[in-house]
């Protein structure tokens, strides 16, 4: 593996959820430890569980891994770190400021930016405190800070004073209120990250266009702020040997090889390692030892139990959706799970039944017209240009809040407006203009704002509360976009995921966030299920067995209703293939 050649002291693994960051970080830690190096493995990823991988309890303390000499691990709980961080900031003003103001501050501090900065606050000492970490030759981090967080920490200025004067916008500056006293330590940490002799960043992706595009964006963003020493690992690539006797495996192999042949230009200069898909769950030392090795023997299929899956299909959900004759359907979920495909499949099936449908997306990478690859009666398609909406929103904020600021304040506000929250708020405003159509037809939306953004919009005196204040005293009927999203009779949220541990956990976390915003997901959709595809390849059959636990977890723990969509031989592009996704499932036994 090239990313292990002459490894520096700090190794960071980053990538989208479900690509295998934790497993690769653990396997790397084992390999270095067994080479005689003292290694500290640190996880800051709420969706990963290093302790579970090694089969021991770790938690927020440095713990020796008994089965591996020289290996120690630490799990930073980002949610607990974020709560401590919030308490430190909100505590001094609680009881001194009106409850509504305190609640607004808490909501500003409720999102991913706060969690990430709080986690950075926790592991800064691991980058700068030699007394704490001097005995380790390598420190491996499962999940790196984003470029946005590092840019924020690099900016000069009196954050606390800027916020106390009420000049900041309600986006991502809130989390920075408590950073001023530690600015020197943060500078030292950021300098360590940017030093190629001390730090290497490993981008982890799958052989999928979406995850490689995400890796390319991460590479360019972090390289632009000084993190130049990077490698690319493409994980979970189906071996050619599995494709000989199984049409499904053959189709997957060809699809992945085509993606690998067209890696984004930004990534072509990086050292690239390919890790083959393994038939087993990556838990325990035996599995981790094999992860970085090629040509793992396929498991004998005679040892497998029969794969029995009886699960509702997408058509079952569409039957219920269609009864109302109109309404808003929102496909939500993390990147790479197939939201665009699911939104398009629901829209096409509704239109195929003779119902009027407007399908809309804000994802610049979704290429929804390519997914449809044609037209259909009763279906109209639109795309919200997020770049145009962001620029419109930024200009509005700078023309209003920005005119009251000095040059330093404008610089801080401009940086704040570069955050992911800005895109979500801007796109939500564009969606709001379309939502009203759902009273007369079906509106199906792909790529929607997160629960944190919805909380922020609703809790900081934005459009919804302002209209409620103005209209509440009279008898005038009114409906705001937020009210429509919170009304299950008008809006049905579909949480899209994969039958894998990390995507399911991420979807469950998103569900909690949405419920805090008063939005209860209507159904879960498990996409690209191998278990629902009746594979013959030994490796895919084992993968199918592993999926059954995650499907059961969704069906019996997380979801009120759910559907499972099979992994198809051909990509679901075009009206006919999309309709195939919504056909009733046949019970799978193999």
Q: What is the pLDDT of residues 203-228, one digit of tens each?
A: 999 998 878 988 998 899 888 878 88
pLDDT one-digit tens code per residue, 183-206: 677 778 888 888 889 999 999 999
* 229 and 340 together in one domain: no
* 275 and 348 together in one domain: no
Q: In 3D, which of 334, 331, 363 has the Cα closest to residue 345?
A: 331
Q: Write down the pTM of the prediction.
A: 0.78
Sheet holding 357-361, edge to edge: 379-383, 357-361, 442-446, 327-332, 491-498, 523-529, 562-566
- Measured between alpha carbons, how far is 464 from 462 in angstroms, rounded to an integer? 6
- Measured between alpha carbons, how far is 30 from 291 in angstroms, rounded to an integer? 11
Q: Is the pLDDT of residue 131 over 90?
A: no
Share the mean pLDDT of the chain. Answer: 81
Q: Is the pLDDT of residue 427 over 90?
A: no
In a domain, 553, yes or no: yes
In a domain, 116, yes or no: no
- Measured between alpha carbons, how far is 166 from 108 in angstroms, rounded to an integer? 13
- Measured between alpha carbons, how far is 415 from 137 in angstroms, rounded to an integer? 36
23 catalytic per annotation: yes
Q: Mean pLDDT throughout 258-280?
A: 93
Annotated catalytic residue, options 453, 502, 533, 582: 502
Last residue of a domain, which of 248, 268, 293? Answer: 293
Annotated catalytic residue, options 23, 28, 171, 218: 23
Last residue of a domain, which of 293, 320, 345? Answer: 293
146 catalytic per annotation: no
Which tokens go with 53? 């991988």
The pLDDT value given to residue 146? 61
pLDDT one-digit tens code per residue, 500-548: 887 898 899 889 888 988 889 999 999 999 999 989 899 999 899 989 9
* 358 and 269 together in one domain: no
pLDDT one-digit tens code per residue, 430-485: 888 888 888 889 999 987 666 656 665 555 444 444 445 544 555 455 556 777 88
In a domain, 198, yes or no: yes
* 449 and 476 together in one domain: yes
Q: Which domain holds residue 221?
A: 7-76+126-163+173-293
Annotated catalytic residue, options 15, 17, 20, 409: 20
The pLDDT value given to residue 228? 85
* 287 and 321 together in one domain: no
- Measured between alpha carbons, how far is 317 from 297 in angstroms, rounded to an integer? 40
18 catalytic per annotation: yes
Give the CATH number for residue 570. 3.40.50.300
Annotated catalytic residue, options 16, 17, 22, 278: 22
- Measured between alpha carbons, how far is 572 from 255 in angstroms, rounded to an integer? 12
Q: Measured between alpha carbons, how far is residue 581 from residues 348, 368, 547, 559, 575 in Å?
A: 10, 16, 19, 20, 10
In a domain, 99, yes or no: no
Mean pLDDT check: name the lowest of 167-171, 182-186, 562-566: 167-171
In a domain, 299, yes or no: no
Annotated catalytic residue, options 15, 17, 21, 401: 21
* 390 and 468 together in one domain: yes
Reported confidence tier of residue 161, pLDDT bands at 50, 70, 90? very low
Task: Count structural domains, the chain.
Answer: 2
Contacts of 498 (CB under 8 A, 6+ apart): 18, 337, 338, 504, 526, 527, 528, 529
In a domain, 301, yes or no: no
Q: Is the pLDDT of residue 257 over 50?
A: yes
Residue 86 sits at φ, ψ, to 5 deg, of: -65, -45
Query: 443 has which bridge partners?
Result: 328, 358
21 catalytic per annotation: yes
- Measured between alpha carbons, how far is 521 from 497 in angstroms, rounded to an integer? 13
* 256 and 187 together in one domain: yes
Dump the DSSP string for 209-250.
Answer: HHHHHHHHHHHHHHHTTT---EEEEEEEEPPGGGGSS-HHHH
* 208 and 339 together in one domain: no
Q: Is the pLDDT of residue 144 over 80?
A: no
502 catalytic per annotation: yes
- Measured between alpha carbons, how far is 557 from 512 in angstroms, rounded to an integer? 13
Residue 158: strand, helix, or coil: coil
As a whole-number percent, the residues of the chain with pLDDT over 70 amount to 80
The pLDDT value given to residue 326? 94
In a domain, 85, yes or no: no
* 268 and 356 together in one domain: no
Annotated catalytic residue, options 15, 17, 18, 147: 18
Residue 284 sits at φ, ψ, to 5 deg, of: 100, 160
In a domain, 83, yes or no: no
Reported confidence tier of residue 17, pLDDT bands at 50, 70, 90? confident
- Measured between alpha carbons, how far is 391 from 404 in angstroms, rounded to an integer? 20
* 158 and 289 together in one domain: yes
* 326 and 474 together in one domain: yes
* 286 and 316 together in one domain: no
CA atoms within 13 A on the CB side of 117: 28
Reported confidence tier of residue 245, pLDDT bands at 50, 70, 90? confident
pLDDT one-digit tens code per residue, 70-86: 999 998 877 777 788 77
- Measured between alpha carbons, how far is 315 from 327 in angstroms, rounded to an integer? 17
């Amino acid at each position: 593996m090239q990313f292990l050649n002459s490894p520096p002291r700090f190794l960071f693994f980053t990538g989208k959820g479900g690509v295998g960051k934790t497993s690769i970080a653990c396997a790397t830690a084992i390999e270095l430890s067994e080479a005689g190096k003292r290694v500290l493995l640190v996880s800051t990823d709420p969706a990963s569980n290093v302790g579970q991988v090694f089969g021991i309890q770790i938690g927020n303390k440095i713990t020796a891994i008994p089965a591996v000499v020289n290996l120690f691990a630490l799990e930073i709980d980002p949610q607990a770190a974020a709560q401590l961080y919030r308490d430190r900031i909100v505590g001094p003003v609680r009881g001194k400021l009106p409850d509504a103001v305190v609640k607004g501050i808490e909501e500003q501090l409720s999102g991913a930016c706060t969690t990430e900065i709080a986690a950075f606050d926790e592991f800064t000492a691991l980058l700068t405190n030699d007394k704490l970490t001097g005995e380790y030759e390598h420190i491996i981090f499962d999940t790196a800070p984003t470029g946005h967080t590092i840019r924020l920490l690099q900016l000069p200025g009196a954050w606390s004073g800027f916020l106390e004067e009420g000049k900041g916008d309600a986006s991502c500056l809130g989390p920075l209120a408590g950073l001023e006293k530690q600015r020197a330590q943060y500078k030292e940490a950021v300098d360590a990250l940017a030093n190629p002799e001390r730090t290497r960043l490993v981008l982890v992706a799958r052989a999928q266009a979406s995850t490689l595009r995400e890796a390319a964006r991460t590479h360019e963003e972090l390289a632009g702020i000084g993190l130049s020493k990077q490698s690319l690992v493409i994980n979970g690539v189906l071996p050619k040997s599995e494709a000989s006797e199984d049409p499904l495996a053959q189709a997957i192999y060809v699809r992945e090889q085509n993606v690998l042949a067209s890696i984004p230009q930004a990534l072509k200069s990086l050292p690239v390692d390919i890790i083959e898909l393994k038939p087993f769950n990556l838990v325990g030392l035996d599995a981790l030892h094999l992860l970085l090795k090629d040509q793992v023997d396929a498991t004998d299929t005679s040892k497998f139990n029969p794969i029995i899956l009886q699960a509702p299909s997408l058509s079952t959900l569409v039957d219920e959706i269609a009864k109302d004759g109109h309404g808003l359907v929102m496909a939500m979920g993390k990147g790479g799970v197939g939201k665009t495909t699911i939104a398009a499949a629901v829209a096409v099936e509704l239109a195929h039944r003779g119902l009027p449908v407007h399908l809309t997306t804000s994802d610049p990478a979704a290429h929804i017209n390519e997914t449809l690859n044609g037209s259909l009666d009763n279906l109209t398609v639109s795309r919200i240009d997020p770049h145009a909406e962001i620029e419109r929103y930024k200009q509005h904020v700078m023309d209003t809040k920005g005119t009251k600021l000095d040059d330093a304040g404008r610089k801080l506000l401009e940086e704040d407006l570069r955050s992911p929250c800005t895109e979500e708020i801007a796109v939500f405003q564009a969606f709001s203009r379309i939502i009203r159509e759902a009273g007369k037809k079906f509106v199906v939306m792909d790529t929607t704002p997160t629960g944190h953004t919805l909380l922020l919009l609703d809790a900081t005196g934005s459009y919804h509360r302002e209209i409620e204040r103005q209209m509440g005293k009279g008898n005038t009927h009114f409906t705001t976009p937020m009210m429509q999203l919170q009304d299950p009779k008008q809006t049905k949220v579909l949480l899209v995921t994969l039958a894998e541990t990390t995507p399911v956990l991420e979807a469950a976390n998103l569900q909690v966030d949405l419920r805090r915003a008063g939005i209860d997901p209507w159904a879960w959709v498990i996409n690209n299920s191998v278990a629902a595809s009746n594979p013959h390849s030994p490796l895919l059959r084992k993968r199918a067995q592993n999926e059954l636990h995650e499907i059961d977890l969704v069906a019996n723990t997380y979801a009120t209703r759910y559907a499972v969509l099979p992994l198809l031989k051909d990509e679901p592009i075009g009206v006919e293939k999309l309709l195939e996704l919504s056909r009733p499932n046949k019970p799978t036994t193999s």
